[in-house]
Amino acid sequence: MASISAGPEIERLIQLLAKLPGLGPRSARRAALTLLKKRDQLLDPLASAMRDAARAIKTCETCGNLDTASPCAICRDPRRDGHVLCVVEDVADLWALERAGVFRGRYHVLGGALSALDGVTPERLNVASLIERVKSGIDEVILAMNATVEGQTTAHYLMDALAGAKVTRLAHGVPVGGELDYLDEGTLNAAFKARRSL
Amino acid sequence: MASISAGPEIERLIQLLAKLPGLGPRSARRAALTLLKKRDQLLDPLASAMRDAARAIKTCETCGNLDTASPCAICRDPRRDGHVLCVVEDVADLWALERAGVFRGRYHVLGGALSALDGVTPERLNVASLIERVKSGIDEVILAMNATVEGQTTAHYLMDALAGAKVTRLAHGVPVGGELDYLDEGTLNAAFKARRSL
């Protein structure tokens, strides 16, 4: 990116903003300009919110979720079924499932997926603590990994590591609202194989 | 957006991040998670960079550019031609032209474009200061508005307001690297009308 001759402070701000997921160099420039144009309404509140969140948010020692307390609100909630564990790669996946409101058990956040390419081994994920938790009276472990190569590799690894426990995985198939014409062969294949009688 | 039950600090961070251009609710959630996962490498430096930029960056009183000093580096630079003025809607446009390195005169940032819909009148833009500047020995005013309805409305307004001065505008035509098949009729029409002999 060429220099914009507006001082090192703006350059540094743009560089850091560009490290956020979803912001490239171009949108980072626009974001920096917006911040500087709306100092009172946006820049100052955002800087404060970042400091507040950094201070307040902890990683739950039980499940790996982010919350203001550890154990997190989900691990503390007595109305949630502590005998069913849903294993996800990332906190973002936990949030997605919570938004959908489909699951009333507890979670375990791995903190990523196995990847030989990126050097992510089982030791770098929260696998040991998962195995410990499953030993202590879990009826079902639902593997909710992403349907990517890394996610599925991780799921296979966990199937072996959790041998003896009841392990399930999310169903593959046609997304609700999806059009067949736009789906890949793998999805169509999975949807066909798992077809259900009406 | 459904609550994510991870504390009001995260919710507030996400809400503010979602106000940045280029970040929707979904990417704001991902950005918030990334910030909280990389506190030392990203969150703390970004918060500091925001404070530093807010403290250091001023709006140039002459041209409306953002810089650490007023007048800005461009307005102070004696190697730049002070007799040619390029009028842009926004600082982002100034940056784009500077990156391209096509212009060695000085700028005037309007701070937006006229829009009846959004209630942007000439009084809300840096038009009065432009007219003042043009009176004081400017040979050419290049109108570099966006090729949008608002941008062209603004250009027409400025043509009238600057009557008597030499006013030019950027050429319309086929973008370099552009394929005719993907261009709109207006662009093709403009490119045809402005065709040049070889």
Domain boundaries, chain A: 79-169
Extract the tokens encoding A153.
């590799």
Peptide bond into A71 cis (omega under 30): yes
Name the B residues in 138-197 with CB < 8 Å from any A CB.
none
Per-residue pLDDT reduced to its tens digit, A108-134: 999 999 999 999 999 999 999 999 999
Q: Do A45 and B16 touch (CB under 8 A)?
A: yes
Confidence at residue A45, expressed as pLDDT on a 0 to 100 scale: 95
Q: Closest to A13 (Cβ–Cβ): which among B35, B49, B95?
A: B49
Which pLDDT score is estimated for B2? 46
Joined together, the tokens standing for residue B174 give 């086929």
Is residue B18 within 8 angstroms of chain A, CB to CB?
no
Collapsing DSSP states into helix, strand and coil, what is residue B36? helix
ipTM comes to 0.79
Share of chain A above pLDDT 70, in %: 97
Query: Which of B95, B99, B107, B110 is the best residue to mutate to test the A interface, defined by the most A CB atoms within 10 Å of its own CB?
Result: B95
pLDDT computed for residue A3 by the predictor: 53
> Which is more confidently placed, A191 or A154?
A154
Residue with tokens 């997190």: A72
Structure confidence at residue B57 as a pLDDT band (50, 70, 90): very high
Whose tokens are 């949030």? That residue is: A95
For A79-169, CATH gives: 3.40.1360.10
**Phi then psi dihedrals of residue B193, to 5 deg:** -60, -35
Confidence of residue B106 (pLDDT cuts 50, 70, 90): very high
**Three-state secondary structure string covering B2-32:** CCCCCCHHHHHHHHHHCCCCCCCHHHHHHHH
Give per-residue pLDDT as tens, B122-144. Answer: 999 999 999 999 998 899 999 99
Contact A66 B10 (CB under 8 A): yes
Return phi, psi of residue B45, to 5°: -60, -35
* B159 Cβ contact partners less than 8 Å away, ≥ 6 residues apart: B143, B167
Please give the model's pTM, rounded to 2 decimal places.
0.78
Q: Scan residues 68-107 of B and list those with Cβ closer than 8 Å to A.
A: 68, 72-74, 90-92, 95, 98-99, 101
